[in-house]
Chains A and B, each alone.
Chain A
Amino acid sequence: DADVTQTPRNRITKTGKRIMLECSQTKGHDRMYWYRQDPGLGLRLIYYSFDVKDINKGEISDGYSVSRQAQAKFSLSLESAIPNQTALYFCATSLGTEAFFGQGTRLTVV
């Protein structure tokens, strides 16, 4: 089983819909992250959390929100999806140095 699991793996949604991407981890790490990958832009940080009660904005947080329900769970929500949020989304965990990534969620907003 994967250490960092993202659901769903693929999703197509309509403009204006609310959608939640979920991430769970079995690594026991406190630090969790949501990144977005776009071709030619690399990965950009959306939100991160160092603890269950800690939520921090990354460089591109507008249009997104997160919830850290437990140490092992960190979900990303798009309150009202728009087409330019079409991207590959990655959850990651860290113990302080290297990060461990999930397999990604490919989101298409039509």
Chain B
Amino acid sequence: AQSVAQPEDQVNVAEGNPLTVKCTYSVSGNPYLFWYVQYPNRGLQFLLKYITGDNLVKGSYGFEAEFNKSQTSFHLKKPSALVSDSALYFCAVRESYNTDKLIFGTGTRLQVFP
């Protein structure tokens, strides 16, 4: 069965520093991977996706993610964190090739300190 794991419940980073939010996946076949962000009292917003092609995927708000097949990882990154990036981040994988049902990780809370 497809699954994703987010090993960190919370990540703390100082404003201006680079940030990484980790995600590893387990799939049979080619993975379709996603990152979503949830701001307080808001729904989930799509950040970026990996379907195929370049391993470095660029998304919204300056975020990017690196797909690493050998390490089965899809870590979310940003070169310089902002306080406004503080939110809950979810990694997700499509359940199978012929469906767009998503399997979500448990989420990582990112806290960026001034």
> Do A and B come from the same complex?
yes
Binding site for B on A (CB under 8 A): 4, 31, 33, 35, 40-45, 48, 58, 90, 92, 94, 96-104
The majority secondary structure among interface residues of chain B is: strand
Q: Would A97 and B49 count as touching, CB distance under 8 A? A: yes
Q: Which residues of A contact B9 (CB under 8 A)?
A: 40
| The residue from B32, B46, B90, B104 contacting A100, defined by CB atoms under 8 A apart | B46
What is the number of residues of chain B that contact chain A, defined by CB distance less than 8 Å? 20
With A40-B106, A97-B49, A98-B34 in contact, is A45–B43 under 8 Å at CB?
Answer: no
Q: A44-B104, A103-B41 are in contact. List 18 more A-B contacts (CB 8 A).
A: A35-B104, A42-B90, A43-B44, A43-B90, A43-B104, A45-B101, A94-B100, A96-B100, A97-B32, A97-B49, A97-B51, A98-B34, A98-B46, A99-B44, A99-B100, A101-B43, A104-B42, A104-B43
